[in-house]
Amino acid sequence: MTFAPKVRKDDISKGSRIGWWSRHWGIVLLVVCLIGIGAYLVFTKAQSRAAKQGQVPSTLGIPVVAVEAQKTGFNVYITGLGSVTPVNTITVHTRVDGQLMEVLYREGQIVRSGDLLARLDPRPFEVQLTQFEGQMARDAAQLKNAQLDLKRFQVLWKQDSIAKQQLDTQEALVRQLEGTVKNDQGQIDSAKLNLVYCQITAPINGRVGLRLVDPGNIVHATDTNGLVVITQLQPITVIFPIPEDSLPQVLAGLKSGKHQPVEAFDREMRQKLAVGSLLTIDNQIDPTTGTVKLRATFPNEGNELFPGQFVNARLLVDVRREATIVPSPALQRGPQGTFVYVVKADRTVTVRPITVAEIQGGEASVKTGLSPGELVVVDGQDRLREGTRVELRPQSGGPTQNNNIQQKGY
């Protein structure tokens, strides 16, 4: 007995699909190719239309900011961080011992020389003056009596009525009493001076500090703290160090006798506070730092400088006429030294090696390698190479670049 194999419905469906793909694969491939060709043609046509309408911009150069090298004067400065130092700082002490009765100044007040600051109790010195005056009146009366006796003894000695020894003794007594009266006068003057010292006055012009002693306290001439501190503000000085290598330039200016201006700036070198002049140089170089200290004086009429304040002092040592100046951001440094990117007339850049003489205040003086009027790149150099095409853009807040490739100012 023979059994026929059982055929499943899934096998029939699978065989049907295989048969369909084997008969129609060519048609499917043709359809896919036609779709790809059509998409390519559509994209090409759209790109061509956009190009005709100016929707796809042409290739631009690298945007940079450039300025012209200027021919002008260039100031050479030496800068040092210094501190404002008063010409005079006085700690006011009492000259006599006594009780502080009254304080007549306000803390932080500007005072003038001779202004009354405080008073001490004068009564002990008034009593002392009365005693000395009474003692002098007594001694003066004794002197007058001794002088009268001396005149009598001189007459009697001429008449040979007394011995010479008695006359000499009287003369000595008169001289002794004259010395006593003179000593009494000195004590009176001392008592009067102590009364003057009870009135404590300002010895200089300046600003008084915080009060150190309150009224009612007993003060002594030997007190270390004193009563108050007065600091002179006008004029005022700034002491600042400079490198020892810069000393010959400063000494040359002092020897010539010319005025050497000094400018005081804040610690961030953003705001100019005052303008003064160089006063003197210290007498030795600090071997630990290799610097020497300079002192500059400032009128300080508006109290711009305050004692103890840190400032940047900038000393003008030279003025170079007709120097070629570029902004310091234009300077680039490489293995071959310092160079700048110069923009040519075809709006391409070239690498130009230069020699820099000085860099001051965001500007550089170029000694060789660059001529006034040439356009140098100051921003955007990181993407530039020799021959790179650039597109000039204005500086922040500046005018739009013109077609002549000129942008002045920095």
- E strands, 48-197, are 62-68, 70-86, 89-92, 98-103, 110-111, 116-120
Residue 366 contacts residue 357 (beta carbons within 8 Å): yes
* pLDDT for the residue 23: 61
CATH assignment of 63-74+323-392, among 3.40.190.10, 1.10.8.350, 2.60.40.3500, 2.40.420.20: 2.40.420.20
* pLDDT for the residue 21: 53
- Which 8-state DSSP code applies to residue 329? G
Q: Please name the amino acid found at residue 332.
A: Q
* pLDDT for the residue 42: 61
Same fold, 63-74+323-392 and 122-197: no
> Closest Cα to residue 98, out of 228, 233, 198?
198
Residue 313 contacts residue 276 (beta carbons within 8 Å): no
Residue 325 contacts residue 364 (beta carbons within 8 Å): yes
* pLDDT for the residue 76: 83
Do you find a cis peptide bond into 235, omega within 30 degrees of 0?
A: yes
Q: Please name the amino acid found at residue 24.
A: H
**Sequential pLDDT tens for the chain (410 residues):** 444 444 444 544 555 555 555 666 667 677 767 777 776 666 566 555 644 444 434 457 889 899 988 888 788 888 999 999 999 999 999 999 999 999 999 999 999 999 999 999 999 999 999 999 999 999 999 999 999 999 998 999 888 888 889 989 999 999 999 999 999 999 999 999 999 999 999 999 999 999 999 999 999 999 999 999 999 999 999 999 999 988 988 988 888 878 899 999 998 888 999 999 999 999 999 999 999 999 999 999 999 999 999 999 999 888 877 788 889 898 899 888 899 999 988 889 999 998 888 887 788 888 888 888 889 999 988 888 888 898 888 876 444 333 333 333 33
- Which 8-state DSSP code applies to residue 348? B
* pLDDT for the residue 200: 95
Q: What are phi and psi of 356, to 5 degrees?
A: -95, 130
* pLDDT for the residue 270: 87
- In the chain, domain spans: 9-49, 63-74+323-392, 122-197
Q: Please name the amino acid found at residue 228.
A: V
DSSP states of 169-207? HHHHHHHHHHHHHHHHHHHHHHHHHHHHHTEEE-SSSEE
**DSSP 3-state percent helix, strand, coil across the chain (nearest 5):** 30, 35, 35
- Which 8-state DSSP code applies to residue 123? H
Question: Exposure of 78 by Cβ count < 10 A (0-12 exposed, 13-18 middle, 19+ buried)?
Answer: buried
Pairing between β-strand 89-92 and β-strand 228-231 as defined by DSSP bridges: antiparallel
* pLDDT for the residue 59: 54
> Closest Cα to residue 128, out of 194, 191, 181?
191
Question: Any idea how long the chain is?
Answer: 410
**Using CA atoms, how far apart are residues 12 and 169, in angstroms rounded to an integer?**
171
> Residue 153 in 3-state DSSP?
helix
**Using CA atoms, how far apart are residues 324 and 308, in angstroms rounded to an integer?**
39
Residue 204 contacts residue 79 (beta carbons within 8 Å): no
CATH number, span 122-197: 1.10.287
Q: Cα–Cα–Cα angle for 341, 345, 350, nearest 5°?
A: 25
Residue 287 contacts residue 48 (beta carbons within 8 Å): no
279: left (phi over 0), alpha (psi -120 to 50) or beta: alpha
* pLDDT for the residue 257: 79
Q: Cα–Cα–Cα angle for 378, 382, 388, nearest 5°?
A: 85
* pLDDT for the residue 50: 46
